[in-house]
């Protein structure tokens, strides 16, 4: 039996268009003990493939993490299947704020060492001793509390286009980097501050909250369901929305608009803009923010060098790439030195340190 995707993105897009069905984009995660991740992965693939589920799902001994799209009329069938799996029964499915039938165009279910690359040795602390989950209303109250340190557990390119009021946004490329930075900068506030965290859907905070409790933080809280669930609750309960801008997502949509505020800028000209794109030069593929004017002028490329290569015939581009790996800039997510308006590095807890020095 074939247990992998066989269609190209273009072929799948054509099938979705032809089917004419509305699709739902959603995400879910669960930390649990999975004895045989490969077997679990294969069985999940069979079910997902039969239900026309597309997306990216990671399976590991520590659990499962998925972002996916499926026909709206098959949502209940998918939920019913998850309910047959003991540790997934009744799991919350985070429905996307904005829907797009083309959010995912392939089904990829992979066995990984971790469902989130956190770089931690889980045997060194109790991963089940997590922080207190709070709903949107309680979270809003924490934001206004002077004893709260509100931390965005996402990477810099995510928080650059949207974040919560009063949040510190670690200027990091990876989740793992932020853990040590936060611990070091808050080492003198482990008892007198409320450490309140949030992320896209909650999964990063699950592990981070347990880690920080292990490190001695006494008052650790996390936003239940992340930004996605917060936005739903704000709408349903008519609460004040304290999120500003867009929520970055890891699919073809790239982001969901939470408010009309544009808090980022084009990395090439500096004008207000908050839409990410990938450099059209396949040897680069850098993720960065580019306004429509610069996109036209630069032919969707991040530099003059990439624009020159992208304009060459395809076979010449292939010859240039032959034997060469991708540029390291691909991992910088908008930090490449040739982008004049890339996000500047800064000390994320500068205010806290300044206040401490005044005492």
pLDDT digits (tens, 9 = 90+) for 151-176: 999 999 999 999 999 999 988 888 99
**Residue partners of 331: CB distance under 8 A and separation at least 6:** 173
State the average pLDDT for the chain. 91
pLDDT digits (tens, 9 = 90+) for 192-242: 999 999 999 999 999 999 999 999 999 999 999 999 999 999 999 999 999
- Specify the higher pLDDT residue, 29 or 332: 29
Superfamily of chain region 130-240: Rhodanese-like domain (3.40.250.10)
Give the Cα separation of 339 and 288 in Å (integer).
9
CB of 89 within 8 A of CB of 82? yes
Q: Among candidates 3, 97, 84, 9, which has minimal Cα distance to 45?
A: 3
Is it the case that residue 352 has pLDDT exceeding 70? Answer: no
Q: Which residues are catalytic?
A: 199
Domain boundaries along the sequence of the chain: 22-111, 130-240, 276-331
Region 29-45: mean pLDDT is: 96
Is it the case that residue 328 has pLDDT exceeding 50? Answer: no
Degrees to nearest 5, angle at CA 52 with 47 and 56: 80
Q: Which fold has domain 22-111?
A: Alpha-Beta Plaits (3.30.70)
pLDDT digits (tens, 9 = 90+) for 239-264: 999 999 999 999 999 999 999 999 99
Q: Is 353 helix (H, G, I), strand (E, B) or coil?
A: helix
CA-only gyration radius of the chain, Å: 21
**Residue partners of 112: CB distance under 8 A and separation at least 6:** 58, 59, 60
Strand locations in the chain (E):
23-31, 54-60, 63-71, 94-95, 107-111, 132-134, 148-152, 162-164, 194-198, 220-223, 243-248, 255-257, 276-278, 287-289
Q: Among candidates 287, 204, 200, which has minimal Cα distance to 248?
A: 200
Is it the case that residue 347 has pLDDT exceeding 80? Answer: no
Q: Would you place residue 333 in the very low, low, confident or very high pLDDT band (cuts 50, 70, 90)? A: low
φ/ψ (deg, to 5) at 66:
-135, 140
Q: Is the pTM of this model over 0.85?
A: yes
φ/ψ (deg, to 5) at 111:
-85, 125
């Amino acid at each position: 039996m074939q247990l992998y995707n066989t269609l190209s993105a273009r072929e799948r897009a054509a099938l979705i268009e032809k089917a004419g069905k509305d699709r739902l984009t959603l995400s879910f995660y669960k930390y649990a003990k999975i004895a045989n991740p490969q077997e679990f992965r294969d069985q999940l693939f069979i079910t997902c493939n039969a239900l026309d589920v597309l997306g990216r799902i990671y399976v590991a001994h520590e659990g499962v993490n998925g972002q996916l799209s499926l026909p709206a009329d098959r949502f209940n069938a998918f939920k019913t299947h998850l309910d047959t799996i003991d540790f997934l029964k009744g799991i919350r499915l985070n429905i996307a704020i904005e829907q797009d039938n083309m959010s995912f165009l392939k089904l990829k279910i992979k066995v990984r060492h971790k469902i989130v690359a956190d770089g931690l040795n889980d045997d060194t602390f109790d991963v089940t001793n997590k922080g207190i989950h709070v709903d949107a209303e309680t979270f809003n109250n924490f934001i206004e509390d002077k004893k709260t340190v509100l931390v965005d557990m996402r990477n810099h390119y995510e928080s650059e286009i949207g974040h919560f009021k009063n949040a510190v946004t670690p200027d990091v490329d990876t989740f793992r980097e932020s853990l040590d930075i936060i611990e070091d900068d808050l080492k003198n506030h482990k008892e007198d501050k409320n450490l309140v965290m949030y992320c896209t859907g909650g999964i990063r905070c699950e592990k981070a909250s347990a880690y920080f409790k292990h490190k001695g933080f006494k008052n650790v809280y996390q936003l239940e369901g992340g930004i996605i669930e917060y936005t739903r609750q704000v709408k349903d309960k008519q609460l004040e929305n304290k999120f500003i801008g867009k929520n970055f997502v890891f699919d073809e949509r790239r982001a969901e608009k939470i408010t009309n505020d544009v808090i980022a800028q084009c990395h090439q000209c500096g004008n207000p803009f908050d839409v990410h794109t990938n450099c059209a030069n396949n040897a680069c593929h850098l993720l960065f923010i580019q306004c429509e004017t610069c996109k036209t002028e630069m032919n969707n490329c991040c530099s003059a060098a990439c624009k020159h290569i992208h304009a060459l015939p395809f076979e010449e581009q292939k010859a240039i790439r032959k034997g060469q790996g991708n540029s390291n800039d691909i991992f910088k997510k908008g930090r490449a030195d040739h982008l004049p308006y890339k996000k500047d590095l800064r000390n994320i807890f500068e205010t806290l340190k300044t206040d401490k020095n005044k005492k």
